Structure 1
Amino acid sequence: MPWQETTPGRYEREFGSIEQFYRQIADAGAVIEKQQFLISCSIKLKESPSVTKLQRSWKALRFLFPQLAAQPDEAGFKLTYTVPSPESITTWMQETFIVDEATNSADNLYASLKPTALFQLYFLPLSREILFRTPHWRIDGTGLQILQNTLLQILADGPPNIVFDGSEITRLAPSLNEAAAVPRESAPHISQAADAELDGFRTGPPSIPIETLPNILPTCPQRYRTMFSADVTQQIISSCKVRGITVTTAAHSALVIAMQSYSQHDCDSSMGGTGGVKYTGITALDLRKYLSAPWNGPQSAVSLYHTGLPFRIDLNKHRDFNAIAADMGATHARNLRHDESRNAVEFLTSYVKKAVGALSATPEEPLKAPAFQTLSSLGVINNNLQSKRNGKASTVEIEDWWLSVEIINRVLGTTLWTWDGQLNLSVSYNGAFFERSFVEKFIDGWGRELTRALGVE
């Protein structure tokens, strides 16, 4: 259902399928004040802006992307946007724009914050960092980069004086279901295609299980990353081009090999592979290129226009890096709109309903719940977020950028991105289930396996 005015100045629409998926996952941790996949993303600036200018820029950003202030109902089925009064704007600013003058690092801050349904911005003057905090059901990684780019351009130009007059409602983003014209009714062939997509998860737990600490309840979210120099990153890119694969495919394939030495299965690590193991997982794929204007461009910032599709690789047949990369590359290269047998856009509604059931089953013994890793590729961040913005009033430059999601289960949420010519390998995890030393060894080993497989020194 598209946005509709229900009373003067009040607009509603249904949650889309992907939004419902992430909302249900987020709500599952509410009883312990945790939120799975809550996004924290830091921008470290070279020079600290004034609080007043940043605050006014945040207000202007809301005018451009009013969905920043949309509110969910308790059931998680509807979003509501109300054209604001001056008083409600003041309240929203107080709730969402927070200046933390005492904390010297976004790293220290994000792990201690309570979850929220709001999209919030924290400013840390001591470290010159802007920390974006949002539930994943509000936005995805690509959209967040676009949003950040717009905010910094507003800051560089000098924030304008904004008057909310209701005209902003034309910029409320539709759900993915509406933007992609997903059929509301699930015909038999659509349901069958969704079943076929999920077949891999019906044969066993996702991924290659990893041993964890014997704790049941999660504690604080943690993150770790390793970076390659610009020179090594360029060598990685060049080697991938020669092999006809993407950096994402290469990194994912190297991750499969690197994690096998930590698997709880019996593994044969000769030839760089394993025996008797099937690698299953989910890969996140951006869907903006399949949408029509304006939702395939910058106007799509505050939206959730991606999906996660499962894959399965038989490591008996695909034992070394090149074989795994060939199979993994086919998964990453799928045309989701024109795949005749499995049009992922067409079966989205049916697929998400089935996926929620398949992925949310509670294990009988929590200590034996499978621990595994997932991988998300954010691509080249500079394609959406420029490191330097020249504006009418000033120049704004970014010194560093990182993103992490809150994990409350036994998942190692691995992520890769390239920022200013440097490839980053990152992981989000929960400190209750993994020792820091193990995580560092695991991610550093992933990096070594990537360079070894590509012949990069």
Structure 2
Amino acid sequence: MSTSPHNGFTWTETRPGRWERDIDEAEQFYTSLAKTYEGSGRMFFAITGHISLCIPVPEDKTIQDQERRVEDALRKAWIRLRYDHPTIGGWVEYDENQRKCVKVYETFLNDEQQKSWLDNTFHFISTEVTGAEWCNSDPPTPKLPTLFVISPPTLARDENKIVQRDLIFRSPHDIIDGIGTLQLFNNLCRHASEAYYLQSSYEIPLFGSEVANLSPPFRVAANLPSAPTQTQKVLFDETTSYNASCRQDCKLMGVTFKDGAILPGKHQRVSLTLSKVQTTKLLQACRRLGASLTHAFHTAIAMSIRDMQKRTEDARPMRYINYCLINERGRCAPPFSAPSHAAAVYHSVSGKSLVVDLIVPGTTNSEGKMNTNEKEFKRILKDIKHFYYEMQHGSDRLPLIPLNWTLVTPPYPIHSGSAIIPPVPRPNSLPSVSISSMGVIENIIAPKHGLFELHNPWVTGEELGTGLGVFLGTWGGQLCLSAAYNAAWHDDKEVLEYLKNCMSIVLKCVEQEDL
């Protein structure tokens, strides 16, 4: 728990069993954005986490017996997870008396309340599609973080003599972020494995004391000052001026999308996976360049948007503008830097805009598109590497994070002191592409917990806009490049083609010897 100067961020019991605290700027961004789009019936940037489990069936057991044992273990693990990470039982609401948003947690005062929470947040789904396909079928976004346990097609289950389950975690983004979701999966599967072995002797701690595990906001976790210094305010003002100047006297590039729809449709995800051999070669090539996979693919993202642009007779300069996302858990003070505080929003956005200038070739260009790519790749990669380094290691960066969040946060919709559901914003006519890097996911999730073998972990944030959200991560030595998009403005063939172009640029340009 925290004390002054962050008294508002300290979890405080406001009535028996109910705890509240203020939310910080990172949480406010996701809360405000979700409220702004509430009229669509969907939740902007709602987290979807996915992981598959495979558990062998002993010779002396039937598949049905093993399924019951596994499902019982998962149910117990979910309750234990609520004790370890009580924030997953919380939510954000607007307090009309205080006229601000607050994060709320209510502990169980009796067994009926625990049962009610379990019934509302833990669901078995029997279906003939995979978990990944189910995620693309427009699943609900509940108010509270919820776990869906998906049974795969019966034929595959019976033929392989294993119990397979796809775990789908759905949550508002103001409760947890992507890295936190992966950490949560690891903790969940660890508990499930333990509950599987211990069965009836597996014990869950008594609720009431779990409030000591409630996570503070990033401001407290990172020991940020309550207010910026005058020097930091000057730096922030310089950043806003720079960002504005970047959009003047230039042609901005955007992602092409289908016109017509006013409201967002279904959130969708598509992905590409490299083989282990290809991934190893690519990692080695990036190391020779002193670059990360994130640097390389962010470079390709910008160049692939360039390749989308309509050609004119003459070549013309255009500009890609975006930002980078930074995992800040390593900069939090213990214990908040550990997976024990997975259910928190501990990441940042670069306040300063990432700017990439490119040339859209004309129809008379004799060199051709790919030759141009090869020439420009090294220059852009160098600029992106420098930008990421500056954003991650700048000496004054951390205290500016709260201010940086305010740059992208829409006003929370209020009328006469009460929260309202506003009209859904019109589609962005010049959308861009962002990238979220999960890194080496085995560093976050153990591939095996006892008999529980884990496969295909991934995370997305629900996309309700016209842009694309690209996600990057490696698992089992294989790189996965995926994209989240909205079906109202894009289709799977188009987005897959975009990912393939990004992959092609990286594979071709990173391994060029003259780079």
**TM-score normalised by the chain length of structure 2:** 0.80
- 2:196 is equivalent to residue 196 of structure 1: no
Q: Residues 128-143 of structure 1 correspond to what in structure 2 (within 5 A)?
A: 128-143=165-180
The Cα of 1:83 is off from its aligned counterpart by: 2.2
Tell me which of 463, 488, 502 is aligned to 1:446: 502
Range 148-157 or range 188-197, more displaced: 188-197
1:148–1:314 CA distance, 2 compared to 1 (3 A): closer
C-alpha distance in 1 between matches for 2:216 and 2:225 = 15
| Equivalent residues of 2:77, 2:191 under 8 A apart | yes
Q: Residues 148-163 of structure 1 correspond to what in structure 2 (within 5 A)?
A: 148-158=185-195, 160-163=202-205
Q: Provide the residue aligned with 1:240 in structure 2.
A: 286
| Equivalent residues of 1:222, 1:429 under 8 A apart | yes
Tell me which of 56, 69, 87 is aligned to 1:67: 87
The Cα of 1:456 is off from its aligned counterpart by: 7.7
- 2:33 is equivalent to residue 25 of structure 1: yes
| Equivalent residues of 2:223, 2:332 under 8 A apart | no
Q: Provide the residue aligned with 1:283 in structure 2.
A: 324
The Cα of 1:184 is off from its aligned counterpart by: 2.4
C-alpha distance in 2 between matches for 1:190 and 1:315 = 28
Q: Equivalent residue of 2:79, what SS?
A: helix
Unaligned runs of 5+ in 2: 1-8, 56-66, 154-164, 197-201, 360-372, 414-421
1:323–1:266 CA distance, 2 compared to 1 (3 A): farther
Measured against aligned partners, the alpha-carbon deviations of 1:82-110 in whole angstroms (never above 9, x if no partner) come to: 22121111111011001111352223322
Q: Provide the residue aligned with 2:78 in structure 1.
A: 58
Q: Provide the residue aligned with 2:105 in structure 1.
A: 81
The structure with the larger Rg is: 2
Unaligned runs of 5+ in 1: 269-273
The Cα of 1:409 is off from its aligned counterpart by: 1.0
- 2:113 is equivalent to residue 92 of structure 1: no
1:275–1:198 CA distance, 2 compared to 1 (3 A): farther
Tell me which of 276, 284, 292 is aligned to 2:333: 292
Q: Equivalent residue of 1:46, what SS?
A: strand
1:329–1:266 CA distance, 2 compared to 1 (3 A): farther
1:436–1:186 CA distance, 2 compared to 1 (3 A): same
Q: Equivalent residue of 1:73, what SS?
A: strand
| Equivalent residues of 1:223, 1:428 under 8 A apart | yes
Counterpart of 1:145 in structure 2: which amino acid? L
Tell me which of 1, 12, 23 is aligned to 1:4: 12
Q: Equivalent residue of 1:50, what SS?
A: helix
- 2:226 is equivalent to residue 184 of structure 1: yes
Measured against aligned partners, the alpha-carbon deviations of 1:403-457 in whole angstroms (never above 9, x if no partner) come to: 2221111111111111111011110000111132211111111111110012289
Q: Residues 268-417 of structure 1 correspond to what in structure 2 (within 5 A)?
A: 275-309=316-350, 310-315=352-357, 320-334=376-390, 336=392, 339-340=394-395, 343-357=396-410, 366=426, 369-390=429-450, 395-417=451-473
| Equivalent residues of 1:275, 1:315 under 8 A apart | no
The Cα of 1:34 is off from its aligned counterpart by: 1.2
Q: Equivalent residue of 1:204, what SS?
A: coil
| Percent of aligned pairs sharing the same letter | 23
C-alpha distance in 2 between matches for 1:365 and 1:141 = 25
| Equivalent residues of 2:325, 2:347 under 8 A apart | yes
Q: Provide the residue aligned with 2:254 in structure 1.
A: 209
The Cα of 1:365 is off from its aligned counterpart by: 10
Q: Provide the residue aligned with 1:256 in structure 2.
A: 302
1:368–1:430 CA distance, 2 compared to 1 (3 A): closer
Q: Provide the residue aligned with 2:126 in structure 1.
A: 101
Aligned residues: 443
C-alpha distance in 2 between matches for 1:184 and 1:32 = 35
The Cα of 1:264 is off from its aligned counterpart by: 5.3
The Cα of 1:207 is off from its aligned counterpart by: 6.8
Measured against aligned partners, the alpha-carbon deviations of 1:328-347 in whole angstroms (never above 9, x if no partner) come to: 112222364x624xx23212
Q: Equivalent residue of 1:63, what SS?
A: helix
1:325–1:124 CA distance, 2 compared to 1 (3 A): same
The Cα of 1:302 is off from its aligned counterpart by: 0.7
Q: Provide the residue aligned with 2:264 in structure 1.
A: 218
1:444–1:196 CA distance, 2 compared to 1 (3 A): same
Counterpart of 1:118 in structure 2: which amino acid? L
**TM-score normalised by the chain length of structure 1:** 0.89
Counterpart of 1:169 in structure 2: which amino acid? V
